[in-house]
Amino acid sequence: MTRRSLYAQDDESVNIFQSFTDLMSNAFMIISFFLLLVLLQVLELNQRLQAASPIIIDEQSGKFKFKSGSAELTTELTSYIQTAIAPKIEEIAKEREIDFIQVIGHTDGQEINKTSNLDSTLEEIAQGRQAFNKLKPGSNVDLGLMRALAVVKELEKTSRLKNIKFRAYSAAQLYLSSGQLAPRDRNPDENRRRIEIRFIPPGEQK
């Protein structure tokens, strides 16, 4: 083989290697681009699936109170729910994926020594066939549920929230606002009386 032939083969080998290197480089860039797109989509989905911070309606300010032992909404509380709470829920629902919204009633530890009628009337109240003033709580569990349900029914009146599912729950006097279990305390305490509105993303079991 002549020297010229050897040089020609060497040049061909270099050209093939260069082409292979360019091909691999381009493939790596394309794969990296698609991985970046996937990562951005995952981050966006994760953001939408994260639970939003809860909305709290409390009595600390001296406003937005329920009547003692009652689940009837005052005019002031009704207005607050429609003008402040409902728009906030609508805003969060547009930003995040939400399976349903929990509305949780919390009470203080004062005892309620009455006969409850929730077992016989709760469904009728929830379906709007009777007024909330017909309900009679026999415990703080009853009272917390009544108040949560009252807030749910008011929120459901808002047409722009019609596609959102709400569920009413009661935590009674069980938890402090910090989330810790409450000690036994039978004194009135407006700091413990509150409604928590929590946003549950898809896939969570609450």
Low-confidence ranges of the chain (pLDDT < 50): 6, 42-43, 45, 48-49, 206
Asked if 32 and 68 sit in the same domain, the reply is no
Asked if 32 and 63 sit in the same domain, the reply is no
Task: With beta carbons less than 8 A apart as the criterion, state whether 162 and 93 touch.
Answer: no
Burial track 69-106 (b if 16+ CB lie within 10 A, e otherwise) = ebbebeeebbebbeeebbeebeebbeeeebeebbbbbb
Asked if 32 and 118 sit in the same domain, the reply is no
Q: What is the pLDDT of residue 67?
A: 77
Asked if 60 and 98 sit in the same domain, the reply is yes
- Domain residues for the domain of 111 are 53-200
Q: What is the pLDDT of residue 190?
A: 81
Asked if 193 and 132 sit in the same domain, the reply is yes
Q: Is residue 39 part of a domain?
A: yes
Query: What total number of domains does the chain contain?
Result: 2
Using CA atoms, how far apart are residues 69 and 197, in angstroms rounded to an integer? 21
Tokens of 200: 């549950």
